[in-house]
Amino acid sequence: MSHRSPTSGSVLRAVATGLLCLTIPAGAVYAADGDEDTAAKSVVPNIYLDLRTTYATIPAGTLGLGFGNTSLSAAFEALAAQRGATLPNGLPAAKSITVDLPLTVDVSDRVSLYGGVSGSTTDIGGGWSTFDITSWNIGVQADLYQQNGGRIPTITLQSTLTQSVPNEQGMTNSFNNILEFDYALDKDETRGWLAGVQYTHTDIASLVARIRPNTILYAGGYYQWPSNWKFTGRLGVQSFGGAQLAGRTLAEPFTQPILRLDLDRMDDNDNRLFGITAQIAWMPKPSYQMTLRTPLYAVRH
């Protein structure tokens, strides 16, 4: 697990160059004359690095599954494809630290585009591997419909494509889709109910390995205090179809509960300033995940 392709360094350099190209023009816009400030703010979208740091524990015999994007899943799926044939008892228990670095652009109050890389280090019982780039991802989040005080809830679709690194035998491509319904109970949308579904499909660049889809059905709610602290809870059921390698089962199918709790610090314009997420997923043994979210803004309205 400590061996990485030398191409990962070039991937990171390319992303860093892209960040620089975006942040320099953004800074230039806000350096304009005071009379143009209002016009500039209405044209330039929010641009930020949505930095997320995750610690996770994975029980033996399963993969890194759960809510959110699929960088953790991609890392463990790559482990399964590359090492599964030499593991006499299937996948071992593991711990992982993952850093996600998606550059995010809020095109409007309805649409956000993002893309970046994820790096991780993993311990499967023999010590932590070298931290290195393990995947890249691109995606979009869009409000298909906004409630705006009406009776029909806001409908949001988020789609993320994640590919593991390096690009060689055993690489994975994961396509993650989340459709969520948000029914606000007040005009300011500070409290409400949530319901949704997440579907993840993964392909492995191998003729003898297969990972079946993973689906989560969930419901929950949220409350935002006048201090702009926001709490969100989601409780659902996760159903995974299992994983096989060369006719041998690497991960058993299961249908088990999953719980996610979010505490976020927002500003007056509902931009996230800080967030912490705790997740427990039974697979069927519990898997624990903790995520710190610390966005780094180049432009924030």
Note if the pTM is more than 0.75.
yes
CATH of residue 153's domain is: 2.40.128
For residue 62, give both structure tokens.
């399963």
pLDDT at site 211: 84
Cβ contacts of residue 255 below 8 Å, gap of 6+?
Answer: 237, 238, 239, 240
Percent of the chain with pLDDT over 70: 77
Question: What average pLDDT does range 17-31 have in this prediction?
Answer: 43
Distance separating alpha carbons of residues 103 and 138, to the nearest angstrom = 9
- Among candidate residues 52, 53, 8, 49, the one with its CA nearest the CA of residue 26: 49
Which residues, in sequence order, are bridge partners of residue 55?
A: 97, 290
Distance separating alpha carbons of residues 152 and 289, to the nearest angstrom = 33
Strands 154-164 and 132-145: antiparallel
DSSP 8-class letter at 247: T
Cβ contacts of residue 95 below 8 Å, gap of 6+?
Answer: 55, 56, 57, 58, 122, 123
Distance separating alpha carbons of residues 224 and 279, to the nearest angstrom = 20
Give the domain extent around 247.
Answer: 7-299
Total domain count for the chain? 1
**Is 252 inside a domain boundary?**
yes
**Is 45 inside a domain boundary?**
yes
Distance separating alpha carbons of residues 64 and 74, to the nearest angstrom = 8
pLDDT at site 5: 43
DSSP 8-class letter at 213: -
Render pLDDT for 78-115 as a digit per residue (tens, 0 to 9): 454 444 444 545 678 888 899 999 999 999 989 999 99
Q: Alpha helices, DSSP H only, in the chain?
A: 7-30, 37-43, 71-83
Instruction: Give whole-number Cα distances, 190 to 14, 268, 271, in Å.
Output: 39, 12, 14
Distance separating alpha carbons of residues 144 and 39, to the nearest angstrom = 27
Distance separating alpha carbons of residues 78 and 133, to the nearest angstrom = 13
ω into 257 cis (within 30 of 0): no
**Is 2 inside a domain boundary?**
no
Instruction: Give whole-number Cα distances, 152 to 184, 269, 284, in Å.
Output: 9, 23, 36
Question: What average pLDDT does range 41-56 have in this prediction?
Answer: 87
- Among candidate residues 182, 138, 123, the one with its CA nearest the CA of residue 156: 182
pLDDT at site 11: 45
pLDDT at site 165: 83
**Is 189 inside a domain boundary?**
yes
Distance separating alpha carbons of residues 171 and 205, to the nearest angstrom = 5
Check if the beta carbon of residue 259 is closer than 8 Å to that of residue 280: yes
Instruction: Give whole-number Cα distances, 81 to 6, 91, 231, in Å.
Output: 20, 10, 38
**Is 1 inside a domain boundary?**
no
**Is 146 inside a domain boundary?**
yes
Q: Is the pLDDT of residue 296 over 80?
A: yes
Distance separating alpha carbons of residues 156 and 166, to the nearest angstrom = 32
In our burial notation (b when 16+ CB lie closer than 10 A, e otherwise), range 228-256 reads: bebebbbebebebbbbbbeeeebbeebeb
**Is 90 inside a domain boundary?**
yes
Instruction: Please give the distance of CA 256 from its chain centroid, rounded to a whole number.
Output: 21
**Is 56 inside a domain boundary?**
yes
In our burial notation (b when 16+ CB lie closer than 10 A, e otherwise), range 178-205 reads: bebbbebeeeebbebebbbebebebebb
Render pLDDT for 150-190 as a digit per residue (tens, 0 to 9): 999 999 999 999 988 877 766 788 899 999 999 999 999 99
Please give the mean pLDDT across all residues of the chain.
82
